[in-house]
A and B are shown apart, each in its own frame.
Chain A
Amino acid sequence: MNLFRSEEHARDWEEYDPAMAHLVRPVEWWADTFSAPMFRERGRSDFISWVTSPEASGTFAELRERMAPPRPDVRATTAAAIALSNVEVSVVDGASPDDRSVEQQLFGQWPAAVPVEIARHWRNTARAMIVAIPAEPLSDVDQQLWTETRRSAVRDIQAATGWLARADVGAGDVRLTHRLAQMGWQGQVADQPAWTAMEQSARAILKCRALAELT
């Protein structure tokens, strides 16, 4: 963050980005923001243990939520979702909560470029998005680190989008989760074997759609 004499000075700065206009804030607002536990706790003797804990992940998600841009409409269009995610997504049309053919569509349409063992699926309907987040890290990723990354990604995505969401887990790659974190997401994480997770994900999409249609 940079300091400016006034709001006008900030807006006249050559590197000013209108897309981040919501972060032109008085010093007092920033001081309050940087009163979050993430900053207050740095003096503790077990800071690294704390900062890698679920508690700290939650506080960081809250911090990012505070600094997030205005949320998109919960009924965001698919195009908006794609723009937000910067990830290839597919739309499943005509689904009903009991339509198992949708699951086949979901899995069958997953881009071939994404290895099955790395990322299961991203799917977006007009009103809801679902993603499978792996339960097990690659062999070179610390398990605890992986768990926290996964959970914070889930929280972040929904925080940013406000969409109904749920994350299930299968096999995967930390890079996928980083991409999720770029979107912001919040939802429930259920540790399940891959196939079960995929089935649940498909059903969760349908549930999201159904819920969205009710709201």
Chain B
Amino acid sequence: MASDLMEPERIPLPELDAAFAAIMSEIVATGVAPHYAELAGTLGIAPIRAKALVKRVIDLTPGWLHPGTDYIASFPPFNNQPTQYRVSIDGEQRWFAQCAFEALAIRWLVPGQIVTVDAPCLLGGDPLRIVMRDEEILSVDPPTMVGYTRSVVGGDVATRPFR
């Protein structure tokens, strides 16, 4: 058991499933990802185990920890650290998206609810707004709005362990 605690790659998938679900549930509900010590309480496990779970879950998904810390900075589609992508759900602004891509994916976690993304244009700072609900894009303002990335989807391939 002790060695398992220190070897994230040997953690059984059901534990990782539970950790991912708990973190996602918390951030959907509150807009904030839990610290591993808080996650430990939720899952009924030791903090050191929760810390290993967090690290492994982050390794397997496109999120990241704040460098040099154990704090979840990004847990897509959300960002724990504020970004310019402010997300409102049913009119309440409490969330931030990892990027504009991921902002468009938040609706899948809140079925039936209206998701509004407000962000400034990176060039001129003009306000932009997208409103969605489930499969529907309810409005894009201005309608000329585009998305653009100069990065490979999923980030640097060398850091993607299974893709």
Contacts and interface: CB of A to CB of B under 8 A. Distances in A.
Contacts of B5: none
A91 B144 CA distance: 48
Contacts of B21: 44-45, 47
Interface string B130-152: 10100101001010111111111
B57 A28 contact: no
How would you classify the secondary structure of chain B's contact residues: helix, strand, loop or mixed?
mixed
Interface residues of A, number: 58
Given A3-B145, A7-B144, A15-B150, A49 B17 contact: yes
B116 to A, nearest CB: 13
B108 A28 contact: no
11 contacts: A3-B130, A4-B123, A4-B145, A6-B142, A10-B123, A16-B150, A19-B150, A31-B104, A48-B19, A48-B61, A149-B161
What 5 A-B pairs are tightest by C-beta distance, nearest first? Answer: A39-B105, A17-B150, A1-B101, A48-B16, A6-B144
A90 to B, nearest CB: 23
Contact of A34 (B61, B101, B123): B101
Interface of B: 9-10, 13-14, 16-21, 24, 57, 60-61, 77, 99-102, 104-105, 108-109, 119, 121-124, 126, 128, 130, 132, 135, 137, 140, 142, 144-154, 157-158, 160-163
Contacts of A178: 157-158, 160
Contacts of B157: 178, 181-182
A176 to B, nearest CB: 11
A159 to B, nearest CB: 12
A98 interface: no
Contacts of A195: none
B128 to A, nearest CB: 5
A57 B162 contact: yes
Interface of A: 1-7, 9-10, 12-13, 15-17, 19-20, 23-31, 33-35, 39-40, 42-49, 51-52, 57, 60, 63-64, 67, 140-142, 145, 148-149, 152, 156, 174-175, 178, 181-182
A145 B161 contact: yes
A1 B13 contact: no
Nearest to A12: B123
Given A48-B20, A142-B9, A149-B162, A39 B147 contact: no
Contact of B104 (A10, A20, A34, A156): A34
Contacts of A175: 158
Contacts of A40: 105, 108
Contacts of A47: 17, 20-21, 24
A19 B150 CA distance: 8
Nearest to A156: B163
B146 A4 contact: yes
Contact of A5 (B20, B100, B124): B124
B13 A3 contact: no
Contacts of B145: 3-6, 26-27
Contacts of B148: 1-2, 4, 10, 13, 16, 20, 23-25
B87 to A, nearest CB: 13
